[in-house]
Chain A
Amino acid sequence: MEPDLWALGGIAVLAAVTFTLAARGAGSARTTSDFLAARRTVGVERNATAISGEYLSAASFLGVAGLVLKDGVQALWYPIGFTAGYLVLMLFVAAPLRRSGAYTLPDFVQARLDSYRLRQLATVLVVLIGWLYLVPQLQAAGLTLSTITDMPYWSGIVVVAVLVLLGVLGGMRAATLVQAFQYWVKLCAITVPAFVLCLVFLDGDSQHRRGLDEAVPPVFERDTTVRLSIDVRLQVTEPVWLRVEGGTGAGVLGDDPAPGPSSVYVSPGEYPVSAGTELRFPAGAPVPVVDDAVAENRSWLLPQDDGARGLFETYSLILATFLGTMGLPHVLVRFYTNPSGHAARRTTLFVLALLGAFYLFPTVFGLLSRFHAPQLLVTGRTDAAVLQLPGAMLGNWAGGLLGAITAAGAFAAFLATSGGLVMSVVGVLSDDVLPGRTWDVRLISLGAAAIPAALALSAMGRDIAQSVGLAFAMAASTFFPLLVLGVWWRRLTAAGAAAGLLTGGSLVLAAVVLGMFVADTQSWWATVLQQPAAITVPIAFLVTFVVSRATRHRVPPGTARVMLRMHAPDRLGFVHDRLESSGGEGGQPHARGRHHR
């Protein structure tokens, strides 16, 4: 039980510090506009740190290492894509978007295309993407708590949902501080254990490093007992002796139908094994892996050995992540806290460096887990690699302490990202559904957090990074064409934008729904449904373009002026902010905000 207490202690400390910061910051938020946009008084460095803190989600902190453990070098496209998304954002939309004065994507849509119906459509999509992104975060929270303690799966979801709600009620000003703090928590929580574990690894004997470029599965370093908590299909590539206890595993894995614990010889093949089964492996036994993981070390080490289907999958992922980041709801909101387009660009550059520094380390965890925590390949819960590796490598108090640090980092990831997402969903909902007063914002927050929590409770997710990938695909297939064409192409029309949003959105949604019914994960169909972006993004882009051309007589009359505002340098002073022009929501005289013009 000792490691559990360590980890819970780490989480408790993190939560306590977070709330102290949030409570102190909340004192200075007075009006609705303070609440939402921090009055743009936040410096570039702090803002960049907060953006990174908000952006590094469970998918980055836990998911990347888990996928590296499972899929090997191919999984590295996730961290690349998560970072490159900001680069593309910076190249094409950061400064103009900031100057457009839009606080949310629906704001941008209305400012640029002057259509209220399109604004409503954008609102629906923002909420949809926000929830698609929130559900895996909450599922990861459930996984984390149930991994490090014996608490049930739902408890983690409820804990994070409640913490996020409390955090959101603290307001954006506090969120900037809290999220900047959480970036450093996450960076430390991944670098410190990574360095220590690397030293331990290099210090240890190198016997199991030998097999890395051979076509053999990883092996258990010592006698290991693995308890399955979900049904899995195990692929056995090398015959293995093991003992089976409980569940239906005994009948399936071995010929010996005798009840009770007994050693069985399992020959190569695929075996469905039910939850509750306990498998005991002797030291040196080859590891059977879940059916969607790469079984052999050699193909795990090498990229692109899946032929054309693998190539399609990689490019689809690249398109989704590179182009989807700019359409994520919590990303744009953060950019509004920059004082100018110029600052928006500099902030993004800073963000690129901060993200790059972080993403060097999950890979280390994934690599080391392949040697030291192969039991995760049997249980299928590879997302827990970052949490369990320290304990698996160092059984003593040091492992417990490092485990506590990574658990606290994981919680920082859930809290920061979920908080940002809930906040941005609340932002669009309070604009378009209930005209905003601070009171309403609180009520909407409750709804915005409760619905994804209910969705997360209803199902155990697949890999976190992959589920998040769908939110990216959705964003890339809807808001990417709208934003890029909206910023750079004068002839975009509301009809074209609406057609693009509807086409891209419904195609990805169809892929998500159909994907639930495809069982064979290795077929072309399953690949396309899991990574639809390579098909949906070009289609959405094309539809937006073609319909805009077809309705060219309906280009909004104010287009030239909007273009001028977006592209003219900040010094000319065209920036016309939403909060200032509307005279402050809730009818407050908005005296202090005026000076920022």
Chain B
Amino acid sequence: MTTGRDSEATDPRVPRRKRVVLADRRGTREIPRTMMELEEQNSVGEALVSHLMKVQLRSSLLLAGIIAVALCGLPVLFWLVPAVAEATVFGVSLPWLLLGVLPFPFMVLIGYLSTRDAERHEREFLRMVEK
């Protein structure tokens, strides 16, 4: 029960406010119990959240690592291997292609993967706490 709702329930201008709020929570029967368990911050709840954070962070770091290698590796590559910098593909200079066009679809792909992973981890977490 949050303080916001308490103060509202006692607000003379908005009588019987509480009922509306409860009605709004239809379809989420399981949630109050889970919430209480987690909010109590007992060792089980804490461990569950820590675990969720850990898997989310791990997959984010993995994808960030892929970006770091693929994109941030390019300047060093161009510097160390001038042949790459001078190559052309279908008459287009390779560096212009690698920097001007390809990064954008690549980043959308990584973004898609990250959304998919994060949502999967959240579903697994929900399955675990709502058992």
Contact A352/B107 with A567-B53, A572-B35 known, Cβ cut-off 8 Å:
yes
Sample 17 A-B pairs with CB under 8 A, ordered by A number.
A73-B93, A80-B99, A83-B107, A304-B78, A318-B71, A318-B75, A345-B119, A349-B112, A349-B115, A363-B100, A563-B53, A564-B45, A567-B53, A568-B38, A572-B129, A573-B25, A574-B39
Q: Which residues of A contact B56 (CB under 8 A)?
A: 567
A83-B104, A315-B75 as given contacts; A90 in contact with B111, CB under 8 Å: yes
Which of A569, A576, A597 has the most CB atoms of chain B within a 10 A radius of its CB?
A569
**Contacts A76-B99, A563-B49, A568-B38 known; 18 new A-B pairs at CB < 8 A:** A76-B100, A80-B103, A84-B67, A88-B67, A90-B115, A91-B60, A91-B63, A302-B86, A303-B74, A303-B75, A304-B78, A348-B111, A352-B107, A353-B108, A564-B39, A568-B125, A589-B11, A595-B24
Nearest Cβ on chain B to A432's Cβ, whole angstroms: 21
Tell me whether A349 and B38 are in contact (CB under 8 A): no
A346 at interface (Cβ–Cβ under 8 A)?
yes
Q: A360-B100, A583-B8 are in contact. Are A352 and B13 (CB under 8 A)?
A: no
Q: Does A359 contact B (CB under 8 A)?
A: yes
Chain A CB count within 10 A is highest, among B38, B74, B78, B100, for B100
Closest 3 CB pairs of A and B: A356-B104, A76-B99, A569-B122
Within 8 A of A (CB), among B31-65: 31, 34-35, 38-39, 41, 45-46, 49, 52-53, 56-57, 60, 63-64
Contact B2 A302 (CB under 8 A): no
- A359 and B64 alpha carbons, distance in the complex (Å): 21
Q: Indicate the size class of the contact surface on chain B.
A: 35 or more
A303-B95, A304-B75, A567-B53 known; A87 vs B115 contact (CB < 8 Å): no
Question: Is A561 a contact partner of B2 (Cβ separation < 8 A)?
Answer: no
Tell me if A244 is interfacial: C-beta within 8 Å of chain B. Answer: no
Chain B nearest Cβ from A256, distance in angstroms? 41
Interface residues of A in 388-425 (CB under 8 A from B): none
Let me know if A488 is at the binding interface, CB within 8 A. Answer: yes
Q: Complex Cα distance A88/B13, Å?
A: 46
Contact assessment for B75 and A591 in the assembled complex, using a CB-CB cutoff below 8 Å: no
**Given A561-B41, A576-B2, do A571 and B105 touch, yes or no (CB 8 Å)?**
no
- B35 near A574 with CB under 8 A, answer yes
CA A83 to CA B86, docked complex, whole Å: 26
Q: Which residues between 327 and 370 of chain A lie within 8 Å of chain B, taking CB atoms?
A: 342, 345-346, 348-349, 352-353, 355-357, 359-360, 363
Q: How far is the CB of B57 from chain A (nearest CB, A)?
A: 6
* Closest-CB distance, A569 to chain B (whole angstroms): 4
Shortest distance from the beta carbon of B48 to any chain A beta carbon, whole Å: 9
Which residues of chain A in 565-597 are interfacial with respect to chain B, using CB atoms and an 8 Å cutoff?
567-569, 571-574, 576, 580-583, 589, 591, 594-595, 597
Contact with B along A536-572 (1 / 0, CB 8 A): 0000000000000000000000001101100111011
Query: With contacts A304-B85, A353-B108 known, is A488 near B53, CB below 8 A?
Result: yes
Smallest Cβ distance from B69 to chain A, in angstroms?
Answer: 13
Pair A88/B64 contact, Cβ less than 8 Å: yes
Taking a contact as CB atoms under 8 Å apart, the answer to whether A589 and B96 are in contact is: no
Contact (A80, B71) CB under 8 Å given A73-B96, A302-B86, A349-B112: yes
Tally of contacts, chain A with chain B, CB under 8 A: 156
Q: Nearest CB to that of B46 among chain A residues?
A: A560
Q: Is the CB of B103 within 8 A of A311?
A: no
- Determine the chain A residues whose CB is within 8 A of the CB of B8 once the complex forms: 583, 594
CB-based contact B85/A84 at 8 Å:
no
Tell whether, in the assembled complex, residue A342 and residue B38 are in contact, meaning their CB atoms are under 8 Å apart: no
- Chain B residues contacting A129 (CB-CB under 8 Å) are none
Give chain B residues whose Cβ lies under 8 Å from the Cβ of A95.
Answer: 118
Query: Are A303 and B85 neighbours in the complex by a CB distance under 8 Å?
Result: yes
Chain A residue nearest to B34 (CB atoms) is A572
Residue in contact with A580 in the complex, picked from B4, B28, B39, B82, CB distance below 8 Å: B4
Known: A92-B60, A567-B53. A84 touches B126 (CB 8 A): no
A contact residues vs B (CB 8 Å cutoff): 73, 76-77, 80, 83-84, 86-88, 90-92, 95, 301-304, 311, 314-315, 318, 342, 345-346, 348-349, 352-353, 355-357, 359-360, 363, 488, 560-561, 563-564, 567-569, 571-574, 576, 580-583, 589, 591, 594-595, 597
Chain B residue nearest in CB terms to A596: B24
A245 to B116, CA, bound (A): 64
User: Is A342's CB under 8 angstroms from B119's CB?
Assistant: yes
Option from A318, A345, A564, A567 in Cβ contact (under 8 Å) with B72: A318
Are A76 and B64 within 8 A (Cβ)? no
Of the candidates A353, A355, A363, A589, which one forms a contact with B13 in the assembled complex, judged by CB atoms under 8 Å apart?
A589
Cβ-defined contact, B99 with A345, below 8 A: no
Enumerate chain A residues within 8 angstroms of B82, measured Cβ to Cβ: 302
Q: Which residue of B lies closest to A308 (CB)?
A: B79
Contact present for A572 and B31 (CB under 8 Å): yes
Given A73-B93, A91-B60, A301-B93, residue A84 in contact with residue B38 (CB < 8 A): no
B110 interface residue, CB < 8 Å from A?
yes
**A303 neighbours in B (Cβ, 8 Å):** 74-75, 78, 85, 95, 99
A561 → chain B closest CB, angstroms: 7
A581 lies within 8 A of B107 (CB): no
Q: Which residues of A contact B34 (CB under 8 A)?
A: 572
B76 within 8 A of A: yes
Residues of A with C-beta under 8 A to B105? 356
CB of A199, distance to nearest CB on chain B (Å) = 17
Residues of A within 8 A of B115 (CB): 90, 345-346, 349
- For the complex formed, measure the closest distance between the CB of B63 and the CB atoms of chain A, giving whole angstroms: 6
Candidates A73, A77, A92, A349; contact of B108 at CB < 8 Å:
A349
Expressed in whole angstroms, the Cα–Cα distance for A387 and B21 within the complex equals 55
Tell me which residues across on chain A come within 8 A of B71, comparing CB atoms.
80, 84, 318
